[in-house]
Structure 1
Amino acid sequence: MTEAQGSAGAEHARYAPGTPCWVSLMVHGLEATQDFYRGLFGWEFRPGPQQLGPYVRALLDGREVAGIGTLPRGRQLPVAWTPYLASDDADTTAETVRLCGGTIGVGPLDAAEAGRMAIGSDPAGAVFGIWQGAAHVGAAVSGVPGTPAWNELRTFDTVGVTKFYETVFGFEAEGAGSTDTDYVTLRVGGRPVAGVLGMGDALPRDRGPHWTTYFEVDDPDTALERVTELGGQVLSPARDAEHGRVALVTDPEGARFALVRSVR
């Protein structure tokens, strides 16, 4: 996990195709959501491309790290963090998604001068984005508190869906090497960039297959207290794992995400 985003405070000029380069959240209450993440991560906000409605980019020390937009009125869509995977050609990637059994629900379309994007889902139903960067290549900094540290697909089993991501994005897949854990690490150029966790019957039925974004924090235990103070919920308390100390939470609208203090 810790290798995926590089060294602390690393800035990015360009992301290799397939690499998670951005995360975005669509919500009902944009102002209240900004207040929550401002209080939790210290984010500041400025307006972003408005193609899909009101949208803001979150910044740390003036550098972009994530986006938050408003869901269309009257549409009951899941409130969830969505990772965007880098592409040199969003149209070709979107067509490959369709050919490999996935779907494209939005786009491809231009996001002003920022780039070209699409939103799709894999054959199991997990939603992800495609981003062809232009003026905006993606997150400008990583490896510091308040930035995305890792993205993990939680699905029924890894076999079929891993082949989908290998074919569409050119990932190299590496199994966990253990019969006890159905886990695959996705690599780009030999570097781990994302994970796939097969959960079988333990996958929450109310969620189905979905991507989970991990955000770096200094202290997950302290961050959990802040989450509840700000109106979020703790789904699983902080625990020590292979890649660091991790907790799973939701924001006030129910968007799930993880907090992690990575092992460095």
Structure 2
Amino acid sequence: MTDARGNARPNGEAPARHTPGTPCWVSLMVHGLEATEEFYGALFGWEFSPGPRQLGPYVRALLDGREVAGIGVLPPDRELPVAWTPYFASDDVDLTADVVRSCGGTIGVGPLDAADSGRLAIGSDPCGAVFGVRQAAANPGTAVTGVPGTPAWHELTTFESARTAKFYETVFGHDEEPGISADPGHITLCLDGRPVAGVHGVGDALPRHRGPHWTTYFTVADADDAVGRVLRLGGRVLEPPRDGVHGRVAAVADPEGARFALLRSPR
């Protein structure tokens, strides 16, 4: 789980432009914006500033004044899941949206202009996993990585990995990591040899009530301590902390049910 945004800057600051196909932003749509700000502010130390008015009630999450994520309000007349959504960078979001459709995916929102956030679209792959596409304008997206409270990785859980990976490879120009994984159902998507995301096919083990979905991993200083904070703030622990090849990981959910993972990388 390594970042693949191009040439990293000192102190975890991401470059001004994200290479097309790399995760460049993550957003969450919720019912209660104020309560959600309180939860993530206490968990990750985020502060918040107003976002583009074109996105409705929407705020940008900041760490030391630098943007890391966005949080908006779900339309009251639509039954949509509360979930974190990764966005992939594109030089031409309209063209990317056309490729998504031609490969069997759908575009549910946009493409639309969102002030200095650029041009956006939200779609789903042929199995139904939701993702975003973002064409940068003045605001390139996530401006800091590698420090606690920032996105570290994105993992897709789906029925079958090989066919699904081909969709993302065609749409975003990803390659598969060479070599044989210890888990034959797992594929690492790369750009120029750098890992950018994972695809995990679990077959019938995929929960039917959830369907294929992306999970965002956030860096934390201590996974066990972060899990304790999640519980004190009204969230839930879905999978307790465990040690893995990429570090210590836990799966949790916020008070509205949005699922995400906490990752403490090896020292």
TM-score by length of 1: 0.97
Partner letter of residue 152 of structure 2? A
Q: Does 1:20 align with 2:23?
A: yes
Residue equivalent to 1:62: 65
Distance in 2 of aligned mates of 1:63 and 1:178: 36
Distance in 1 of aligned mates of 2:19 and 2:143: 14
Structure 1 regions of 5+ residues with no counterpart?
none
Q: Does 1:74 align with 2:66?
A: no
Percent identity between the aligned chains?
A: 70
Residue equivalent to 2:128: 125
| Range with bigger deviation, 212-221 or 170-179 | 170-179
| Range with bigger deviation, 225-234 or 9-18 | 9-18
Select which of 250, 258, 262 maps to 2:261. Answer: 258
Residue equivalent to 2:2: 2
SS at match of 1:51: helix
- Deviation of 1:180 after TM superposition, in Å, equals 4.2
Q: Is the 8 A contact 1:2 1:243 kept in 2?
A: no
Partner letter of residue 133 of structure 2? I
Distance in 2 of aligned mates of 1:206 and 1:167: 28
Residue equivalent to 1:43: 46
- Deviation of 1:190 after TM superposition, in Å, equals 1.1
CA RMSD, 1 decimal: 1.4
Residue equivalent to 1:134: 137
Q: Is the 8 A contact 2:218 2:263 kept in 1?
A: yes
The answer to which structure, 1 or 2, has the higher relative contact order (CA under 8 A, 6+ apart) is: 1
- Deviation of 1:176 after TM superposition, in Å, equals 6.2
Residue equivalent to 2:189: 186
Distance in 1 of aligned mates of 2:37 and 2:253: 14
C-alpha distance after superposition, 1:128-170 (max 9, x if no partner): 0000001111100000000000001110111111110000000
Q: Does 1:157 align with 2:164?
A: no
Q: Is the 8 A contact 2:219 2:262 kept in 1?
A: yes
SS at match of 1:95: helix
Q: Is the 8 A contact 1:244 1:263 kept in 2?
A: yes
TM-score by length of 2: 0.96
Structure 2 regions of 5+ residues with no counterpart?
none
SS at match of 1:181: coil
Distance in 1 of aligned mates of 2:3 and 2:64: 23
Distance in 2 of aligned mates of 1:20 and 1:113: 18
- Deviation of 1:263 after TM superposition, in Å, equals 2.5
Distance in 1 of aligned mates of 2:86 and 2:100: 15
SS at match of 2:141: coil
Please state which structure has a larger fraction of its residues in strand. 1
Distance in 2 of aligned mates of 1:50 and 1:175: 43
| Range with bigger deviation, 40-49 or 152-161 | 152-161
Distance in 2 of aligned mates of 1:146 and 1:176: 32
May I ask how many residue pairs the two structures share in their alignment? 264
Q: Is the 8 A contact 2:181 2:187 kept in 1?
A: no
